[in-house]
């Protein structure tokens, strides 16, 4: 196997950035059906205050023959912020995918290109897949920080215990109009449905002791009400790596098997 740290200049971010990459190129199970197919790619998005790193067991990448690409998204919610150099959705959905295609010959079709995230990265995995439905074939989101329900209409000078108005305004734009913004995954789903466009296969999970549970249930109900096929799981657990490790394994096997 090979583990890279790649430094590149990003036009979307207007600076040098790095991503991590794991390729199981020397230990794939040569006698399995998975080793005989073209290697697939999983883009893995970290959470708030996190950084690029792998939390998918490497034996699964070896077993199912897929590379793992781990970008740095800072605390961006993986969105195109309002400031110059904060286009994190564009960076992942366009620039990084194209770099992986050109440099490594991977992620060339939706069936070869999946995205997964936890917490803020879960939001990013859903939003990025819906923003680029012709790029990502499957998306899985663990304990997604679907906070658009909480911050819509937030006013200057206010905060919610995690961050203040200025931060959310930078990430999401006009919070008074968030319901109709493309930074809202619900809005993107509605647009795809109206256009009769492809919608990536969706996997979601949240722990029953997680403070984000109601937001995840609300989005799950939204998908049901709009007839969007998806797989949603709840089980005992909080907002922690114990729960995320469980579903990283479960979703990886569901996506790649």
Read off the pLDDT of residues 48-93 as tens digits, 9 standing for 90 and up.
999 999 999 999 999 999 999 999 999 999 999 999 999 999 999 9
Query: What is the pTM for the complete model shown?
Result: 0.96
pLDDT confidence bin for 1, thresholds 50/70/90: confident
pLDDT confidence bin for 31, thresholds 50/70/90: low
Please give the Cα distance from 204 to 192 (Å, whole number): 19
Burial class (CB in 10 A: 0-12, 13-18, 19+), 210: buried
pLDDT at 30: 54
Place of tokens 């070869």: 112
pLDDT above 90 (res 26): no
pLDDT at 34: 86
Q: Are 217 and 232 in contact (CB under 8 A)?
A: no
pLDDT confidence bin for 36, thresholds 50/70/90: confident
Q: Are 152 and 215 in contact (CB under 8 A)?
A: no
pLDDT at 105: 97
pLDDT above 90 (res 27): no
Q: Are 203 and 166 in contact (CB under 8 A)?
A: no
Q: Which of 189, 196, 251 is nearest to 221 (CA)?
A: 189
pLDDT above 60 (res 235): yes
pLDDT at 33: 77
Please give the Cα distance from 201 to 38 (Å, whole number): 20
What crossing angle do the helices spanning 120-131 and 185-194 adopt, rounded to 10°? 20
Place of tokens 């995690």: 162
Q: Which residues contact 87 (CB under 8 A, 6 or more apart)?
A: 12, 13, 80, 81
Burial class (CB in 10 A: 0-12, 13-18, 19+), 194: exposed
What mean pLDDT comes out for the span 216-244? 98
CA distances from residue 67 to 55, 120, 217, 245 in whole angstroms, order as listed: 13, 22, 31, 18
- 240-256: pLDDT as tens digits: 999 999 999 999 999 99
């Amino acid at each position: 196997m090979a583990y890279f740290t790649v430094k590149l200049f990003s036009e979307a971010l207007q600076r040098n950035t790095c991503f991590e990459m794991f390729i199981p190129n020397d230990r794939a199970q040569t006698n399995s059906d998975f080793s005989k197919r073209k290697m697939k790619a999983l883009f893995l998005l970290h959470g708030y205050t996190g950084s690029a790193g792998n939390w998918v067991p490497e034996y699964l990448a070896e077993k199912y023959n897929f590379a793992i690409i781990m970008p740095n998204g800072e605390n961006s919610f993986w969105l195109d912020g309002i400031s110059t150099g904060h286009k994190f959705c564009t960076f992942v959905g366009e620039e990084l995918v194209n770099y992986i295609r050109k440099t490594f010959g991977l992620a060339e079709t939706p069936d070869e290109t999946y995205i997964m995230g936890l917490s803020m990265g879960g939001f990013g995995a859903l939003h990025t897949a819906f923003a680029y439905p012709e790029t990502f074939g499957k998306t899985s989101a663990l304990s997604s920080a679907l906070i658009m329900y909480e911050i819509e209409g937030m006013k200057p000078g206010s905060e919610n215990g995690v961050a203040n108005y200025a931060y959310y305004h930078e990430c999401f734009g006009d919070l008074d109009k968030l319901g109709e913004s493309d930074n809202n995954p619900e809005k993107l789903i509605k647009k795809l449905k109206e256009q009769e466009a492809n919608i990536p296969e969706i996997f979601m999970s949240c722990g029953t002791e997680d403070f984000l549970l109601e937001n995840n249930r609300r989005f799950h109900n939204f998908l049901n009400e709009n007839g969007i096929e998806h797989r949603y799981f709840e089980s005992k657990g909080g907002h922690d790596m114990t729960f995320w490790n469980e579903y990283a394994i479960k979703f990886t096997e569901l996506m790649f098997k």
